[in-house]
A = this chain, B = another copy of it.
Amino acid sequence: MKLYSYFRSSASYRVRIALALKGLPYEYAAVHLLKGGGQQLASVYRELNPDGLVPTLEDGSQILTQSLAIIEYLDEICPDPPLLPSAPADRAYVRSVALQVACEIHPVNNLRVIQYLKKRLNISEEQRSEWYQHWIDVGFSSLESRLSSEHRVGDFVFGSTPTIADLCLVPQVWNARRFEIPLNRYPTISRLAANAMALDGFAQAEPSKQPDTAS
């Protein structure tokens, strides 16, 4: 397998965790999101991924895009350890937590949205920070409220092993810390992220440990 990834991309980070937890070896193809106007927008990469987004996973002749679709694929072709529970209602629960991060928090703070705000709407650096913090706070507040009263929460979002929900939560927490957003109002989220980050698979996938780190 070959993963097109950018060390700081949280969608890439999610897939790196899945590959690491399942012990699947892969070639790392770095796609720099800022250099040369963004390598993800170059025509050679867009032939693979017309969205011009990372990650992309090549598995033989298969070209896979969208991190959550890639993770579900990896879970289907390599079920051990499972990244989803077995009962439909529990699967819906962990998927919904993953989607709360992937649909409600992450897209609004994505690089291209921030660039539009700066270049087309001329917002100030202060307004940009407020925007970023606002959507993290909106998303984390409702997620904290949900997880703090959810009986299925254990050491991880679902019980005692990580699922697709933890794979989305950890990169979002990592991003929030990078932008120095205080997380003390989110004790459940912080605890769950710390538990996950202590696992080898999560640690290996960390942005600071990739071939293209700080390149």
A72 and B50 contacting across the interface, CB-CB below 8 Å: no
B72 and A95 contacting across the interface, CB-CB below 8 Å: yes
Which DSSP category, helix, strand, loop or mixed, fits chain A's interface?
A: helix
A51 and B104 contacting across the interface, CB-CB below 8 Å: yes
Across the interface, name the chain B residue whose C-beta is closest to A107: B107
Selected contact of A103 from candidates B46, B66, B72, B146, CB within 8 Å: B66
Does any Cβ of B come within 8 Å of A145's Cβ? Answer: yes
Q: A69-B96, A121-B121 are in contact. Are A89 and B103 (CB under 8 A)?
A: no
Q: A88-B76, A113-B108 are in contact. Are A142 and B51 (CB under 8 A)?
A: yes
A66 and B95 contacting across the interface, CB-CB below 8 Å: yes
Contact count band on A: 35 or more
B103 and A107 contacting across the interface, CB-CB below 8 Å: yes
Q: A69 to B93, alpha carbons, bound, how many Å?
A: 8
A68 and B142 contacting across the interface, CB-CB below 8 Å: no
Please state the number of chain copies in the assembly: 2
Across the interface, name the chain B residue whose C-beta is closest to A99: B66
Q: A106 to B112, alpha carbons, bound, how many Å?
A: 15
A141-189 interface with B by 8 A CB criterion: 142-143, 145-146
Does any Cβ of B come within 8 Å of A20's Cβ? Answer: no
B62 and A89 contacting across the interface, CB-CB below 8 Å: yes
User: Closest Cβ of chain B: how far from A203's Cβ, in Å?
Assistant: 26
Does any Cβ of B come within 8 Å of A52's Cβ? Answer: yes
Does any Cβ of B come within 8 Å of A209's Cβ? Answer: no
- Give per-residue flags for A76-110: 1 if the beta carbon is below 8 A from chain B beta carbons, else 0: 11000000000011011101101110111011100
Q: A143 to B103, alpha carbons, bound, how many Å?
A: 18
Q: A106-B103, A107-B103, A121-B127 are in contact. Are A77 and B68 (CB under 8 A)?
A: no
- Give per-residue flags for A45-58: 1 if the beta carbon is below 8 A from chain B beta carbons, else 0: 01000111100000
